[in-house]
Amino acid sequence: MKYSIRSILKERKRVNVIDVGHHTGNFARQIPSLTGKSSTYIIGIDPIDYNTGACHKFIKAAISTETGEAKFNTYNKPGCNSLLDMNLHNLIRDRNQKGWYAPHDIFKTGEVKVDRITLKSILDETDFDIVDILKIDAQGSDLDVALSAGDWLEKTIFLQTESLKSTNEIEKMYEGQTTIDEDIKTLGDLGFELIYEHDRSSFSCPESDLIFVNKKYIK
């Protein structure tokens, strides 16, 4: 990683974390080892409450720049749940075919109604001075979630997203999701520099986990 999370956060007395797509809480549990800080405050956000016990506060909602009630698509693999419709017709079982590959069967199980709210509306109610880490795993909606933070993006140090690696329409996993190039360009224009990429497309879906740092916090 180009910049060490620990070194940049070393002067912070408490690490403030927003975990969008909290799901089973795996990311939240890694925070102390990631930051080297025992003093953390984690807000977990997800449309479905899995009662993880991994965050200090849980908010049951879907995050978006749009607000109001919406449908939330559920799948047999809960990690695929999304506000966006999954392109299951593009799912393939043979890597030699055109489309996107997943190492397991995926099918839709239903839809639930959820409330959409912005990240800004949540952060405005906190005692946070800044957001040390904003992690987003929103299955195709990551950039929209980030933009919903509004002026809080200026007060966010690290931002983690999951982005579509492919620019091929037939390899898009979700309807309307943005690509890695679009995500990097938009966040770059907002002052974020990409410092780490974990490309998972060689063994799973055509996605990469990205970590950005707000350049104003680099000394």
CATH number of the domain that 124 lies in?
3.40.50.150
Question: pLDDT tier at 66 (50, 70, 90 boundaries)?
Answer: very high
CA 136 – CA 44 distance, rounded (Å)? 10
pLDDT tens column, 75-84: 999 999 999 9
Q: What is the DSSP letter of 149?
A: T
Domain count for the chain: 1
Torsions phi, psi of 44, nearest 5?
-95, 135
Q: Name the CA dihedral angle for 122, 128, 132, 133, rounded to a multiple of 10 degrees.
A: -20
**Mean of the pLDDT values across residues 2-6?**
86
Mean pLDDT of the chain: 95
Among candidates 35, 13, 5, which has minimal Cα distance to 158? 5
DSSP at 177: P
% the chain with pLDDT above 70? 100
Closest CA to 24 of 44, 57, 43, 50: 50
200 confidence band (pLDDT: 50, 70, 90)? confident
What's the token pair of residue 206? 């055509």
What proportions of the chain, in percent to the nearest 5, are helix, strand and coil? 25, 35, 40
The per-residue pLDDT for 202 is 77
- CA–CA separation, 137 vs 207, rounded Å? 11
Give the DSSP per-residue string, 75-114: ESSGGG-BSSPB-GGGEES-TTSSSEE-SS---EEEEEEE
Residue 151 is encoded by which pair of tokens? Answer: 């002026």
Which residues is 18 bridged to in the sheet? 43, 134
Does the model's pTM come out above 0.75?
Answer: yes
User: 16 is in which domain, residue-wise?
Assistant: 5-217
Contact 134, 158 (CB under 8 A): yes
Q: pLDDT > 90: what percent of the chain?
A: 84
